[in-house]
Amino acid sequence: MPAPTSARSPAAADFAPAAGGLLTVDLAAIEANYRHLARLAAPARVAGVVKADAYGLGAVPVTRRLIAAGCRHFFVALLSEAIELRPLMPAGAMLAVLNGLAPGSEREAAVAGIVPVLNSLAQLRAWAALAHDLATPLPAILQVDTGMSRLGLSPSEVDALADDAGMRVGLDLLYVMSHLGCADEPTHPANRAQLAVFTAAKAKLGIATASLANSAGIFLGPDYHFDLCRPGAAVYGLDVGPAAHGIRPVIGLKARVAQIRTIPAGASIGYGYTFTATLEMRLATLSVGYADGWPRALGNVGAAFIDGVSLPFTGRVSMDSATIDISALPKGRLAPGSLVDLIAAEQSADDVGRLTGTIGYEILTNIGRRYARRYIG
Ligand SMILES: *Cc1c(COP(=O)(O)O)cnc(C)c1O
């Protein structure tokens, strides 16, 4: 008997007909972007920022690939994220928690060998007290606020710490760090101002090694690199401002056609009947909606693509579906089960962000769990 075409055959798995769409993540492009940033930042080291499930692309496969590319410093936002990734870390790697530790979670972090970013003197005292209890020095990164007013020691806390060496007993401060608020605007005066505040705080605290730049900060030049850079977005192919160059796209996103129909002039489309056909139209209903992170703000805005042809969204985006106008395509080009491009050469995640009043970061991190995923490269 000939082998039946089974759902387990590679071709069928690629096609993933059970899912409403397909997310393709190019790990070779992630590695190329990481290596490009590492070359720009050298001799500074370059960490991988893999918070928020590596910006929605899958923290485990992305972290594995970055480790294979030589990355040995990782940042996540939360302790829960660090605990999940800890087993992947090779000996000697650093895994740090940007948001610091919530009171009561210090011991769990220490036992797991996770490095907190200490964002206040209260966090510093709690970590030093645990080092005392455990009778062992504990590593940490000290964040100072240089202007964003988000996380990190205030200027008066920096002074208090600089004046009292006793507060640091038991702490192995690996880096002093801060974060840039406007690095994607290279000419913004805040960049130089934050750099000056950071350099002064570093000197005052007498910490030899420092970390300031995110992706966009790397492109501001060597003054901003210090010893460790922390890119996320550029590794994942996002546009991080006018100074950025040499970054490859990383993802492709496709939606599956659920149904094709022809409607007469006068028929309306979707919730609220926000679109009414003035001519006969051919439509495709896609099995992707705002529950998949495809923004509801794309109702009657933006397009899907196939063969370079733009297929405008018509009517509102629903939770699990959205409708596109396929009148411009030859009849039969699409059928139920076909895939159309949402994010591809014609339209980046940044473009979708611009169309919907947000940024590519939000589009990526909102990509839901319902897409079939294919890792290539
Ligand atoms: C998210 C984050 C980064 C990475 O920023 P990108 O703009 O994605 O490169 C670096 N540092 C801190 C403190 C962050 O919160």
Note whether 304 and 198 are same-domain residues. no
Q: Which long-range contacts (CB under 8 A, 24 or more apart) does 196-204 make?
A: 197/144, 197/146, 197/147, 197/155, 198/144, 198/146, 201/144, 201/146, 201/155, 201/158, 201/176, 202/176, 204/158, 204/159, 204/162
51 as an active site residue: the answer is yes
Decide if pLDDT at 13 tops 70: no
- Residue 15: per-residue pLDDT: 66
- Please provide the distance, in angstroms rounded to a whole number, between the alpha carbons at the two ends of the chain: 35
Check 51, 55, 254, 361 and give the catalytic one: 51
Q: Is 215 in the pocket of ligand 1 (CB under 6 A)?
A: yes
Domain boundary among 208, 236, 264: 236
What's the CATH number where 203 sits? 3.20.20.10
CA-based max dimension of the chain? 82
What's the CATH number where 327 sits? 2.40.37.10
Nearest CA to ligand 1 atom 12: 179
The set of residues, in sequence order, having a beta carbon less than 8 Å from that of 328 and lying 6+ positions away, is: 309, 310, 311
Which residue range is the domain that position 162 belongs to?
Answer: 27-236
- Residue 3: per-residue pLDDT: 39
Place of tokens 């992706």: 215
254 as an active site residue: the answer is no
Confidence of residue 368 (pLDDT cuts 50, 70, 90): confident
237 alpha carbon – ligand 1 mean position (Å) = 14
Note whether 321 and 204 are same-domain residues. no
What's the mean pLDDT in 79-97? 98
Number of domains forming the structure of the chain: 2
Check 204, 224, 271, 273 and give the catalytic one: 271
180 alpha carbon – ligand 1 mean position (Å) = 9
pLDDT digits (tens, 9 = 90+) for 118-155: 999 999 999 999 999 999 999 999 999 999 999 999 99
Chain mean pLDDT for the chain: 95
What is the pTM assigned to this prediction?
0.94
Decide if pLDDT at 12 tops 60: no
Confidence of residue 161 (pLDDT cuts 50, 70, 90): very high
Q: Mutation test of ligand 1: which of 40, 74, 75 has the most ligand atoms closer than 8 Å to its C-beta?
A: 75
Nearest CA to ligand 1 atom 15: 98
Q: Is 96 in the pocket of ligand 1 (CB under 6 A)?
A: no
pLDDT digits (tens, 9 = 90+) for 223-241: 999 999 999 999 999 999 9
Note whether 146 and 256 are same-domain residues. no
Note whether 217 and 261 are same-domain residues. no
Q: Is residue 5 part of a domain?
A: no
Give the integer Cα–Cα distance in Å for 100 and 117. 5
* Closest atom, ligand 1, to C-alpha of 98: 13
76 alpha carbon – ligand 1 mean position (Å) = 9
Nearest CA to ligand 1 atom 3: 214
